[in-house]
Every structure is written in structure tokens, then in C-alpha cells.
């Protein structure tokens, strides 16, 4: 099938919008020009000036399957990804069973292909069952199809084991993607160790619980030479440590979530578990450091840490409810409205941090919109303003603190390998 996207706009290198028609044949973009004549047997979609960008890439998603299908499945998570403009998502290994065997990796890849709504890239666990006691078979996991290694959900507590994991990962050309949390400091905290915790008598998680692991891992990775990536960075100290490592030329990268960029513990309205995530919402000073790090390139990519739970689980109260919020269907509108429209980022910078940069960092052949490249793309309506409504989510998870927020920049069309995976008003 030949598909012609007419009267769209693309971003030029100087952040200006230029009119563009895009012709797709099969899985590739074959022509891009200011005007392409429609021919017989072409499927034409008029875009009326909407923005066309490479398909979004999210390197931190929890699809919950296998084991927690009440929260999410590969199918519902992929549908949510497509609706959010994502064509490629990386799923974290804290499922049940954990993604620590080739068989589990292969099952996830096969199910994602069956669904066909998003490209799903599994991360393999660093340790068996994520218990921090014995390393998994990295070579076998890589052969099965993992793109990186992580014990996301828990931090690797044993420094010797982390260094050995880094050494083996480096030998195989795999990245270590770290959930940074020192259990002796985090204990059983449920929110940031700040004024909110004190006011409500809650055990807080201090900044140092994250930053100590970031600093430790940077030193270990420096000795080994592995690519080290910090998950959901949240503190000023962590940003400072990553910046210093980069200044020495070390291969250290970091991601930040929309919720850590937009919210602090000051915005939590009482004991509402929809604001409970790990790492927790930090201070205003931490948020400012995250935005500064994003702007100066210390933090290269935005990732959602999409973490669906049932509403029954989230109703268990601040101390007992599980950590996490959903993010796939709201990430781009939130970032466009509250970072681009406010002047914090250029539109081109936002797009880069959600497309080209994650692909570049993890060596993926995606994230570009050009002739001859894969037809993974997303069409964005920059003008229409809508409220975030969890009832409309394709994800099983409705757990978001952003209900009612008005946003622009909504994805209206998503293509994966030239196939339409989402089109607005066509569920």
C-alpha cells in the first residue's frame, strides 16, 4: 500500500515548521517534498498543517505481563503507547516471572508482534528474580532479544555484584540501566523526606537514597567502561554527579519523567496515593535541577516510567498503595504544554529527547524521519486543547495525578513500519 500524508509540517534544524508531504510505501518513507501529487490507488490522509515527527520512543515502561495482567497487558499497554504517539517502548523486567530467562523474553516479543501496535523491546533482569543474589545469563538473554539490563523496581544493593554485572554487560555490548536506591536509607518510606512527610507523619525517602547509588555506580562504571544509564533521575545531587561524570567523558546517561519535571511534594493534595511514585516527588529545588539538567544536556531523554495499577490498589492509602502512575497517553501533551509553550524547551529539543536521543543512546535504528528510513512516525495536533481524562485511556491503568489538566500537543495519528496503529476517533 502507498500512503500519502498531505499538507503536514515538519521541524527544520532551526526549529521552524515547514510544509511537507510524505509518501510511504510498505515500511519505508520513500519521498518527502513540499508537494507530492496524489495518484490512483494511493491512500491519502490530509493533515491540515499538523506536525509530523518520528515515532516517539519510551525506554522505561511497565507492561506488567506476565503475572500482573489485572494492571496491564502487552496488548493494552501497546494500544496506550500507540495512542500516546509511541512506536517503540522498552518494558522493564519486574514482572512475575521476572524477565530473567530467554523463554520469557521470547514470549514477550512474540506477543508484542501478535498485537502489532508498538515495537516492544524487553530489558532483562540483572539478577535472578531481581533478588540481588545471583547474576542472570546475560549472553542468553541478549541472544533472546533484550536491549539492556536492569533490576528496575529495586536497586542492586551489593556493590561487588553490580561491578561484576557491569563487567559482563560491557563484554557483551549491553547497557546497565539502574534503579538507584539504597535500601538502608529508603527503608519503607512512601514519599520524599521533606515538609509533606513531616506534616503528615510519614516516613520519607531522602535524596541520598538515590544519589549514593548514582555516585557508587558512576565510579564502578568508570573502572569497567560500561554504558551506565540512570533511571528516573529525581534529585539535585544525582544530576550534579551525572554532569560531573559527563564532563570527564564518561559514558553516563540519564532519563527523567514528566511527573518529576512538573510536580513537587508541595503539590500533593493531602494523602492522595495517585501522587505516590518511586522515586517520590521531590522538592522545588530538585525539580529546578532536573529542568536545568534537561536543558543543558546532562539529562538526555524523557521516559514515562508508565506504571499501571488497579484503582483498588491505589485506594489502599499513601503508606500501603503501590508506587507508580501511568504516563504513555499523556507524556507528549504534558511536556509540550508545560515545557515548550512556557519557553523552557524548544519544540525541536523536546522531540529530540523523545525520539532521536533514546535511539542514539541505546543503539536503536529508529527515531528519524527521512527518505529511506523506517516509516515510524507520529502526527501531533499542536492547537487543540483537551483535558486529561483517565476514563478515555486505552491503558488498564487510570492512576494519574494529572486528571483535568488542560494540554495541547495531542497525537492524532501513529504509524509503525508504515502501518496505522492509532488514528484519532477510530478505536
Backbone angles phi, psi at 395, to 5 degrees: -65, 150
Work out the burial of residue 223: count CB atoms within 10 Å of its CB; fewer than 13 is exposed, 13-18 middle, 19 or more buried. Answer: exposed
305 noted as active-site residue: yes
Q: Where are the alpha helices (DSSP H) in 226-283?
A: 236-247, 258-262
Choosing from 182, 217, 286, 305, which is the catalytic residue?
A: 305
Burial of 346 (0-12, 13-18, 19+ CB in 10 A): middle
Does the N-terminal peptide bond of residue 47 adopt cis geometry, omega within 30 degrees of 0? no
Q: By 3-state DSSP, what share of the chain in percent is helix, strand and coil, each rounded to 5?
A: 35, 20, 45
* Partners of residue 18 on adjacent β-strands: 10
Q: How many CA atoms lie within 13 A of 156 on its CB side?
A: 30
- Non-local (6+) Cβ contacts of 203 within 8 A are 187, 188, 189, 190, 197
Listed residue (360, 416, 419, 380) closest to 11, CA to CA: 380
Burial of 419 (0-12, 13-18, 19+ CB in 10 A): middle
d(CA 385, CA 263): 21
Q: Identify the burial level of 276 via C-beta atoms within 10 angstroms of its C-beta, where 0-12 means exposed, 13-18 middle and 19 or more buried.
A: buried
Query: What distance in Å separates the CA atoms of residue 42 and residue 3, rounded to the nearest whole number?
Result: 6
Beta pairing partners, 90: 121
Report, as residue numbers or ranges, the catalytic residues: 305
Amino acid at each position: 500500500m502507498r500512503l500519502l500524508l498531505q499538507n503536514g509540517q515538519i521541524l527544520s534544524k532551526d526549529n521552524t515548521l515547514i510544509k511537507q508531504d510524505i509518501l510511504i510505501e510498505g515500511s519505508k518513507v520513500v519521498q518527502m517534498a513540499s508537494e507530492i501529487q496524489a495518484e490512483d490507488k494511493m491512500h491519502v490522509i490530509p493533515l491540515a498543517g499538523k506536525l509530523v515527527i518520528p515515532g516517539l520512543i519510551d525506554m522505561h515502561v511497565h507492561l506488567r505481563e506476565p503475572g500482573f495482567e489485572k494492571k496491564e497487558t502487552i496488548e493494552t499497554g501497546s494500544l496506550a503507547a500507540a495512542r500516546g504517539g509511541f512506536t517503540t517502548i522498552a518494558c522493564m523486567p519486574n514482572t512475575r516471572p521476572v524477565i530473567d530467562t530467554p523463554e520469557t523474553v521470547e514470549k514477550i516479543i512474540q506477543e508484542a508482534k501478535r498485537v502489532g501496535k508498538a515495537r516492544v523491546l524487553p530489558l532483562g533482569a540483572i539478577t535472578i528474580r531481581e533478588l540481588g543474589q545471583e547474576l542472570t545469563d546475560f549472553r542468553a538473554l541478549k541472544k533472546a532479544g533484550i536491549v539492556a539490563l536492569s533490576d528496575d523496581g529495586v536497586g542492586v544493593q551489593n556493590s561487588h555484584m553490580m561491578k561484576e554485572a557491569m563487567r559482563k554487560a560491557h563484554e557483551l555490548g549491553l547497557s546497565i540501566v539502574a534503579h538507584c536506591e539504597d535500601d538502608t536509607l529508603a527503608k519503607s518510606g512512601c514519599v520524599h523526606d521533606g515538609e509533606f512527610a513531616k506534616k503528615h507523619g510519614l516516613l520519607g525517602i531522602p535524596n541520598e537514597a538515590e544519589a549514593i547509588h548514582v555516585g557508587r555506580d558512576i565510579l564502578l562504571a568508570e573502572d569497567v567502561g560500561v554504558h551506565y544509564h540512570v533511571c528516573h533521575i529525581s534529585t539535585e545531587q544525582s544530576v550534579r554527579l551525572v554532569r560531573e561524570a559527563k564532563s570527564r567523558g564518561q559514558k553516563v546517561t540519564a532519563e527523567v519523567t514528566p511527573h518529576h519535571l512538573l510536580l513537587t511534594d508541595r503539590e500533593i493534595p493531602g494523602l492522595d496515593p495517585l501522587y505516590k511514585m518511586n522515586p517520590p516527588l521531590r522538592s522545588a529545588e530538585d525539580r529546578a535541577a532536573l529542568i536545568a539538567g534537561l536543558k543543558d544536556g546532562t539529562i538526555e531523554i524523557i521516559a514515562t516510567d508508565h506504571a499501571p495499577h488497579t484503582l483498588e490498589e491505589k485506594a489502599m492509602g499513601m503508606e500501603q498503595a503501590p508506587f507508580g502512575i501511568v504516563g504513555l497517553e499523556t507524556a507528549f501533551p504534558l511536556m509540550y504544554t508545560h515545557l515548550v509553550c512556557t519557553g523552557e524547551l524548544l519544540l525541536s529539543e523536546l522531540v529530540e529527547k523523545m525520539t532521536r536521543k533514546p535511539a542514539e543512546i541505546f543503539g536503536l535504528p529508529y527515531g528519524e524521519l527521512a527518505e529511506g528510513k523506517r516509516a515510524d512516525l507520529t502526527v501531533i495536533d499542536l492547537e487543540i486543547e483537551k483535558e486529561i481524562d483517565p476514563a478515555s485511556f486505552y491503558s488498564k491503568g487510570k492512576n494519574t495525578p494529572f486528571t483535568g489538566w488542560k494540554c495541547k500537543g495531542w497525537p492524532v495519528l501513529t504509524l509503525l513500519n508504515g502501518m496505522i496503529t492509532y488514528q484519532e476517533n477510530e478505536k
